């Protein structure tokens, strides 16, 4: 501590961890976590709960120019409901878009909803299912839910891959001298790189 005693203690939210470079996960951030969150230089927060974001947290986000994307998934919802699958898909689209990085994903405890979103990201990254489950269980602990694991296992990422290919295509632009991705809507295989 310095002579004046004004050194800040950096306290991460509970269940905080790095998922990938510039992707983080945690439980719900409290005001005592704000100094720590400042060190991450966040651009985006993905909030997976239906409850309104507290005013104090919203003011912190405004002061740091952090965007909030809220995907209201009830804590005890059966994850096989189509609404939840679509919501997770939309949250993944925000998560994989590097323009939103650095990004923090959180729900209340940073266990179930956050674990499901991270598990679906891992499937997109082609992790083996046993490693995806091991990571989920590490954060959920004794409160691990079989329904969550089944949801992750059955989550279909083919649609998301198609969306990702279209994002990549857009990033490459339409200038005839640039390399760009070519694919057809019916073909969900990897796009080919070609000079045009």
Q: What residues are annotated to the active site?
A: 107
Question: Read out DSSP for 23-92?
Answer: EEEESPPPGGGHHHHHHTT-SEEEE--SSPPPHHHHHHHHHHT-EEEE----TT--TTSHHHHHHHHHHH
Contacts of residue 113, defined as CB under 8 A and 6 or more positions apart, other chains included, come to: 48, 49, 73, 75, 107
Cβ 69 vs Cβ 117: under 8 Å:
no
The CA angle 121-93-188, to the nearest 5 degrees, is 80
């Amino acid at each position: 501590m310095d002579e004046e005693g004004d050194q800040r203690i950096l306290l991460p939210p509970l269940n905080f961890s790095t998922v990938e470079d510039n992707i983080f996960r945690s439980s719900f951030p409290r005001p005592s976590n704000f100094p720590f969150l400042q060190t991450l230089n966040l651009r985006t927060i993905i909030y997976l709960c239906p409850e309104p974001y507290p005013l104090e947290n919203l003011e912190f986000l405004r002061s740091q120019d952090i965007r909030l994307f809220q995907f209201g998934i009830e804590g005890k919802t059966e994850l096989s409901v189509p609404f939840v699958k679509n919501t997770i898909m939309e949250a993944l689209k925000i998560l994989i878009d590097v323009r939103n990085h650095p990004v923090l994903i959180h729900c209340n405890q940073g266990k179930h909803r956050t674990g499901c979103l991270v598990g679906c990201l891992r499937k997109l990254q082609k992790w083996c299912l046993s490693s995806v489950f091991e990571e989920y269980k590490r954060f959920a602990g004794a409160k691990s839910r079989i329904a969550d694991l089944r949801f992750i296992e059955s989550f279909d990422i083919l649609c998301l891959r198609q969306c990702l290919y279209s994002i990549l295509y857009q990033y490459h632009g339409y200038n005839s001298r640039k390399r760009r991705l070519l694919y057809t809507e019916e073909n969900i295989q990897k796009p080919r790189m070609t000079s045009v």
